[in-house]
Amino acid sequence: MGAYCNEDLGSLPVYSSGAPTNELRFSKHVYDNVHGNIYLDPLCLKFIDTEQFQRLRELKQLGVTNMVYPGAVHSRFEHSLGVYWLAGENVQRLKTFQGMELGIDNYDLQTVRLAGLLHDIGHGPFSHMFEREFLPKVISGSQWSHELMSVNMIDHMVDTHNIDVDAQMLKRVKDMILASTEFSQLKSNAEKRFLYDIVANGRNGIDVDKFDYIVRDSRACGLGCNFQFQRLTEMMKVIDNEICYPAKEYRNVHKLFATRADLYRTVYTHPKVKAIELMIVDAMVKANSFLEISSMINDPSEYWKLDDTILKTIEIAPDPELAEAKELILRVRRRQLYQFCNEYAVPKDKIDHFKAVTPQDIICSQKHQSLTLKEEDIAVTNVKIDLARGRQNPLEW
């Protein structure tokens, strides 16, 4: 059939099955619950309408946090759309007020938008937990990062779907994604260097990625957020190839990093969240040899198939090789979690020479002979919460 309809054409839409959907759509508006109406341009839609990008719908922005904060079910998909939109709004404002002076054109606008859209395309199941907790346990000395996978995934998407995009634009997009990492090759005097600080700012950490996730995460978890990114966007100005803000806005900038730190304390490193993360990691480690999860991280054509549904795959699999992993997931479902024992805040004067605590350290410090713990009985999480610049003050950059 060519179309589906009902006798009352005034009440129901008509759907055509005769032409590919992407030929019927060249641009689109979607409604986002944080930023309102978002316009999706034709080039970005070519990336969005792929199975690789749609996979982000199956990656929760906050991993397993929704098992403690039930509202935290938002995905990397909506976050990526939000960053896309904010990145474009920032460039548009600079173009309006300093466009002639800085030489900003629509090419720059498109490039930064695309970088915002695709900056998280390389994330794995349960977001940061995958690369920070799981991979180091199954691959010794793992240096894998979601930013590098994002770069590889972009090339894979372009080749697989024959996306017509300028090669120089694609290179700049990938440079912008890597701008805040140790893999960045950018120099401080690069042409239009300020554009590379919009999505991922490695200089001072003020970027639209944080603008979006801080507001989005706070709202999803039912927490207040008094940080106003709109004011920073209105006040920003490029000076000496850097995005700058008036000194009087230092309180608002401080709120950005303080709110981020509060989210780490109350949400991202909540004791129950960490307990569930540790259990999911243990389950994935036990399932790794059978499902070969870690073998997929270097091949984008395989990697895109990995998402949060790996948990359900393990849970319902009949294979006896997954029995231990299934038992751990069942414990999570039944709220039989690893028990939180204690925490220790490292004094500021000792933090520079502090060595990460290990289960072996705990075992060696046992004093009671009536209860003997083994290394496998203990899991230690060393958490570092700062203002995104380590010991440095981001307000001084």
> Could you tell me if residue 239 is inside a domain?
yes
User: Residue type for 287, please?
Assistant: A
| pLDDT at res. 380 | 83
Is residue 8 one of the residues assigned to a domain?
A: no
**What is the CATH number for 44?**
1.10.3210.10
Q: Which of 35, 119, 123, 146 is catalytic?
A: 146
CA 179, CA 111: separation in Å to the nearest integer?
A: 14
Q: Is residue 349 part of a domain?
A: no
User: By C-alpha distance, which of 344, 343, 345, 338 is closest to 376?
Assistant: 338
In a domain, 15, yes or no: no
Contact by Cβ (8 Å): 279, 331? yes
In terms of C-beta distances under 8 Å and separation of at least 24 residues, what long-range contacts does 293-296 make, across chains too? 293/134, 293/138, 294/134, 294/135, 294/138, 294/139
Is residue 52 within 8 Å of 153, Cβ to Cβ? yes
**HSE (CB half, 13 Å, CA atoms) of 393?**
4
Quote the domain boundaries for residue 298: 27-343
As beta bridge partners, residue 242 has 239
* 3-state helix, strand and coil shares in percent for the chain, rounded to the nearest 5: 55, 5, 40
Structure-block tokens of residue 149: 């996978």
Dihedral Cα 37, 41, 42, 43, nearest 10 deg: -130
Q: Of 219, 212, 249, 204, which is closest to residue 231 (Cα–Cα)?
A: 249
Cα torsion 133, 144, 262, 88 to 10°: value is -150
**Rg of the Cα trace of the chain?**
23
Q: Which helix (H) or strand (E) holds 96?
A: helix 76-102
Residue length of the chain: 397
Concatenated DSSP letters for 215-281? HHHHHHTT------HHHHHHH-EEETTEEE--GGGHHHHHHHHHHHHHHIIIIIT-HHHHHHHHHHH
Weakly modelled stretches of the chain, pLDDT under 50: 1-7, 9, 19, 22-24
Please tell me the predicted confidence (pLDDT) of residue 368.
66
DSSP 4-31: E--S-TTTS--EE-SS-HHHH-S-EEEE
Predicted local distance difference test score (pLDDT) of residue 1: 45
Residue 234 CB-density burial (10 A; 0-12 exposed, 13-18 middle, 19+ buried):
exposed
Rounded to 10 degrees, what is the CA torsion of 308, 313, 314, 320?
Answer: -170
Asked whether residue 93 is domain-assigned, the answer is yes
CA 327 → CA 191, 230, 252, 287, distances in Å? 55, 47, 47, 11
Residue 382 has what pLDDT? Answer: 80
Q: How many structural domains is the chain composed of?
A: 1
Residue 384 inside a domain? The answer is no
Tell me if 314 is assigned to some domain. Answer: yes
Catalytic: 146? yes
Would 144 be classed as within a structural domain? yes
- CA 48, 145, 61, 280 torsion-angle sign: positive
